[in-house]
Structures are given as structure tokens and as C-alpha cells.
A and B are shown apart, each in its own frame.
Chain A
Amino acid sequence: MFPYREHCEKCASAAMSEELCGGEGVIWTWTRQNYPPPSPPSRIDILNNEFNPYLVGYVDLGEIKVLGKLVFPADVTPVIGDTVKLGVRNIHVAGVLEEEFVFYMDFV
């Protein structure tokens, strides 16, 4: 499961260990957030009063499907099964420039 938790989601056992999974996967499903998310709880800064829609999805990494943002060129619509690669980007959150993990479209 992701992120790390002290107890197993399935059986609540505390015998947990961390495992690395590859940084490449395929889109299992996705959507686009086309309007500003309710705030609170969202703390994403909307700069210059201009909301930029963003993509979210579950990416199938083999052992696990992880929820995350997807980053595609503006003129490309994701398709289930598209290959994506894990990366990091900056995001303005409550006035601070932070890092978030994202899945980038894999350019062939």
C-alpha cells in the first residue's frame, strides 16, 4: 500500500517493511479536475487568479496502483494503458514552493 503505514491495510499487522517499486507504470484510470478543488482542505495556491485544471489517476506499477497527478502536454488526452514515468515537480502550496511526485507522460 501507499503511502507507508504502520499497520497493514488488509490484516492490521504491524510487521511492515518498505519495498521499492519501479518508476514506470501504466495509467489504470484517470480524470481531470476542471474546477478549483474545495478549500479547505485543498491548499494549492491559485496564482494570478488563474486556475489550471490538473490530471489525477491511478498508475499501475505492477504490485500496486498508486494515486497521483499525471502530467501531460495540454493538447494530449491521457488514455488508459498509456505508459508514464515517476518524477517530481514544484507546486505552490499555501504560499510555499513544495515538491510533489507526479507521473509524466512517457514520450516515445
Chain B
Amino acid sequence: MSASIIGAGLHPFGRTPGVSAIEQGAVALANALSESDMGWSDLQFVIGGTRDGERIDTLSKYFGLSGTPMINVFNGCATGGGGLAMAAGLIESGQYEVGAVVGYDRHKKGAFSFDPAQYGLPQWYGDLGFAVTAQFFGMRTQRYLSEFDIGESTLADVAVKARTYGSLNESAWRRDVLTREEVLGSPMICDPLRKYMFCSPSEGAAAVILCSSKYARKIRRKNIQLKSVALEGKAYGAFEIFQTSLPREQEEPVTSRASKRAFSMSGVGPEDIQVAQLQDTDCGAEIIHMAETGLCEHGEQKRWMSDGGGPHGDRRRISVNTDGGCLANGEPIGASGLRQICEVVTQLRGKAGSRQVEGKPKVGLTHVYGAPGISVVCILTR
């Protein structure tokens, strides 16, 4: 793959009363453009993703009707990854040289609600109280902890780490730290996951400017290379969200497949990753995704989280969700995948301030997981 990221920008995550989702998206895009020293008129296309926000087309209110094509892409919590994959494809095809991907959202307080019929689920699934994404996260974590002998203290370690990183990130929503006791004393939501082990719906926006490597050289911009963006979907037999039954035969989870493909496309291996942003809808999700992306073995998370060390012995340290992840930023569905890209770009550029990963990282990974079982893994290098 020969696409480059030349700009990344955010609108702060959390709650911003009176500012619409698309307005937050416009701020993120303006920041990304300014970082790359480019203007709106340089963009040849824009891809936008949101669940509860306005269509990306309404961005014209802030930048003008320039004839720029705007494309709406939505894939649940994997929206940012899906949009980036489409953008990379448009650039790889040679049809466009440079474009932007914008993710933005603004959710009401409280648990996400959705229409089961939109996902092909039977009426009773909604009627009788199964249409709760937190139930899946609870059940997946319950199974995983039991299978690999991991306790709830490891879940608490993840929550504490997330809030510590959040306290160092001025764009994060949750800036106060939590103790293990506070996490383990918070109310049970969906066993074994407690209140502080879940992210909450929030608001925010993120944008990246993507171009061909040739274009980046032409305009002489420092760039981060997008080595791979691998998108995979639900396979029969894999334990994913929104399933009323599972067959006897078991297929590997979608995240493992996306990750393997991302590594094979990029030519780097899990041992090369120095900073990673993984979908952390809940603390169980983060530890499961650590292993599914190949960053450690199943069960190894216990030691990794408790000693803060690397998964491959003492040879190195790797940092996961260095901007606080969804746990500290909340989950604006359209924005989170691109927030991860922005964080890896910032880390690879060495500009992450007090949360900067040591050792001048050169290779980073991002991962999103969305309903009904779609996963996108990206590998970036400088």
C-alpha cells in the first residue's frame, strides 16, 4: 500500500453543549488541514462517518459548495476504519491523489439502543430484552476469563490504565484517575463488567488527510505511511455480536483474521509494533483484542497488565490505548476509529507530550470492532 497520512486533527471528546456533530467534524477537519498546511480546495474527496450526526454533505456549510464529492460510510463502531479503507482504495486506484476522512458523532446519554430488524434479528430479540450490546461484551468477557484463567483484577488494571492515560490527554473526556478499589467497587452492569469497565456514549470528532505517497513527496510534507488497512467481516461459526445461536464448529474471530491480513499486507510483524490502539468498548474487549491482534498470547494479558511490561518477555514494552481509548474518551461511534489513527500519528511524530511512548516509536497499530462483527486493523509507520 502506498498511501500517506499528512494531517490528523481532533475536536475534543466528551460533551460540548450546543455544538452539533458536523460542526465538531468541521473543527477536526480544519485542524487536520492546518496541520498539513493545506486548504479545503486541495481536497479531491471527503469520506464521512457518523451514526447520530448529520450527513457529511452538510460539511459544505463550513467550507462551501466546491463540488467536492462527499461519501457517507457507516459500519457501526468500525466506521472510522471502514472510511479509511475506502479512502485508501480511492487513492490506490489512482482516481484521486488526496482526500479526507472525517468521523464525528454526538450521542444522547445512556446505553445505545438500536432496531434489531436492521440487523436481521427476530422481533423477540428486542421485545424480550436481548438487544443490549453490553450483554454481548459481558458474555464474551465471561467466556474469555474462564477459558484463559484471567481474573477481574486484570479488568481493573485496564480501567486504571485508561484513566491514567486520559488524565494526560487534554482532548479526553474523563481526565480524573481511578483507583482499582473504585473500579472494583463500582456497580455491576453486565457481569463480570462493572460501570468503570465500560465506555459511555459521548461526542467528538477526528479527521485525517490521506494522499498518495507520490503526492506527499510532490508537496514535500512529512508523512506517516499507512502500510495496511485490512477490513474483514463476520464468518460463520465465529463468536461475534448479535447472534441468537452459534454452531458447533468454531471459526476464529474476525479481529484475528483482520490482523493477520494487516500484517501480511504490511510486511511487519506483531513484534515490530511499538504503540497500539485497540477497541476498548469495555476492559474485556481490550484484553481480548490484545491477543486477537497477535500482540500477545491468549492468557498472557494478566502478566502484561500487572507488571506493565511487554508481552514478549522483557525485550520491549508496548503501550496500548495511549490516549485513554474509548474508556477515557467515551464512544462517539463515527469518530473513535479515526481518533485512534490520530493518536498513533501523534505518537509516531513524537508529539504526544506527557503520554509519549518511550523509544521513539516507528510502527503503530490500530484496531476497531463494530456491529455486527466487522473489524479493521491498520498498520502505520514513519
- Given A10-B236, A31-B190, check contact A3 B244 (CB 8 Å): yes
Interface residues of A in 42-75 (CB under 8 A from B): 42-44, 54, 56-58, 62-67, 69
Measured in the bound complex, the distance between the Cα atoms of B113 and A42 in whole Å is: 9
Interface size class of B (residues with CB under 8 A): 35 or more
Q: Does B19 contact A (CB under 8 A)?
A: no
Name the B residues within 8 Å of A3 (CB-CB). 122, 244-245
Interface-side segment among B87-95, B139-147, B162-170: B139-147
A24-35 contact mask (Cβ, 8 Å, vs B): 1 or 0: 000011111111
Most buried by B among A1, A33, A44, A54: A33
Taking A3-B122, A29-B140, A41-B113 as contacts, is the C-beta distance between A69 and B245 under 8 angstroms? Answer: no
Verify if B65 is at the interface (C-beta below 8 Å from A). Answer: no
Residues of A within 8 A of B189 (CB): 34-35
A58 touches B190 (CB 8 A): no
CB distance from B126 to the nearest CB of A (A): 3
Q: Which of A29, A37, A65 contacts B131 (CB 8 A)?
A: A37
Residues of chain B with a CB closer than 8 A to A35's CB: 111, 189
State whether the Cβ of A107 lies closer than 8 Å to any Cβ in chain B.
no
Say yes or no: is A91 at the interface (Cβ < 8 Å to chain B). yes
Question: In the complex, which residue of chain B has the Cβ closest to the Cβ of A100?
Answer: B128
Provide the B107-121 mask, 1 if CB < 8 A to any CB of A, else 0. Answer: 000111111100000
When A and B form their complex, which 4 residue pairs have the shortest distance between CB atoms, in order from nearest?
A41-B126, A31-B138, A38-B113, A29-B143
Q: Could you list some 16 contacts between A and B, CB below 8 A?
A: A3-B122, A9-B236, A28-B143, A29-B139, A29-B140, A31-B135, A32-B191, A34-B190, A34-B191, A35-B111, A42-B131, A43-B126, A44-B129, A62-B248, A66-B245, A69-B128
